[in-house]
Structure 1
């Protein structure tokens, strides 16, 4: 994937993520009981590994860190990405450098190594089981 295509996709994803978060922040109190935007949960009735991430981010926005972690720790990772990534992308675009792209390529090569991929997959599965157990 080229640098420009990656930066475009990430910019669109960030824009969508911020739009979703703003919508959820202002309308979550008006959502019908039992409403879930998760397609997997709506089809299967079972929470996916990222179910609760929006609620986790909303807890963070309200300053409730403990509740955010207990709702879904993936929300913390998403929050960090949503804060750092736009700054990094703008920095690269303004300076004409490819620091994020180079790090992304290195990450892409590193994450496929079994000794890294397997523990990450196990963590996602544990989070998934935890989500199901909590009844998210």
Structure 2
């Protein structure tokens, strides 16, 4: 089943809605201490943080203007935050203008990511982030 422009848009919007709800849950005054609340299945089962552990805390730090704290928690936080801001706007633009610029961009990026040199570099970066998460006891 091939990914179409509409399916990609629905997937991204759905992920953003869940992400915004999750972020609101963590920022709201009703839930200020989430240090003991773990969602990561990998960490629950193995006790070892995954490469994305700390991303929510990092995005929360970004929303508070604590950028250094976000980098120290998990640099992937910036990628997630930027994606959550830009992609809904981009999708709205495409829908209004009846274009597929996000889908075309996605296809171009996907073609680049399967190139061995880029794929290996990204895998190494994820592994380094994972090692760093383990080393700092996240």
TM-score, normalised via structure 1 length: 0.95
Measure, in 1, the Cα distance between the counterparts of 2:27 and 2:40: 17
Residue 107 (str. 1) matches residue 102 (str. 2)? no
Identify the match of residue 15 of structure 2 among 10, 13, 26: 13
Query: What residue is the counterpart of 1:123 in the other structure?
Result: 125
Once the two structures are TM-superposed, the CA of residue 35 in structure 1 deviates from its matched residue by 2.3
Superposed CA deviations along residues 57-98 of structure 1, whole A, max 9, x for unmatched, are: 111111111101011000011111111111101000110001
| Gap change, CA 1:39 and 1:120, over 3 Å in 2 | same
Superposed CA deviations along residues 24-52 of structure 1, whole A, max 9, x for unmatched, are: 11144244x53211111011100000000
Q: Show structure 1 runs of 4+ deviating over 3 A.
A: none
Measure, in 1, the Cα distance between the counterparts of 2:58 and 2:106: 26
Measure, in 2, the Cα distance between the counterparts of 1:99 and 1:45: 41
TM-score, normalised via structure 2 length: 0.94
Task: Report how many residues are paired.
Answer: 135
Structural RMSD (CA): 1.1
Unaligned runs of 5+ in 2: none
Unaligned runs of 5+ in 1: none
Query: What residue is the counterpart of 2:88 in the other structure?
Result: 86
Measure, in 2, the Cα distance between the counterparts of 1:134 and 1:128: 10
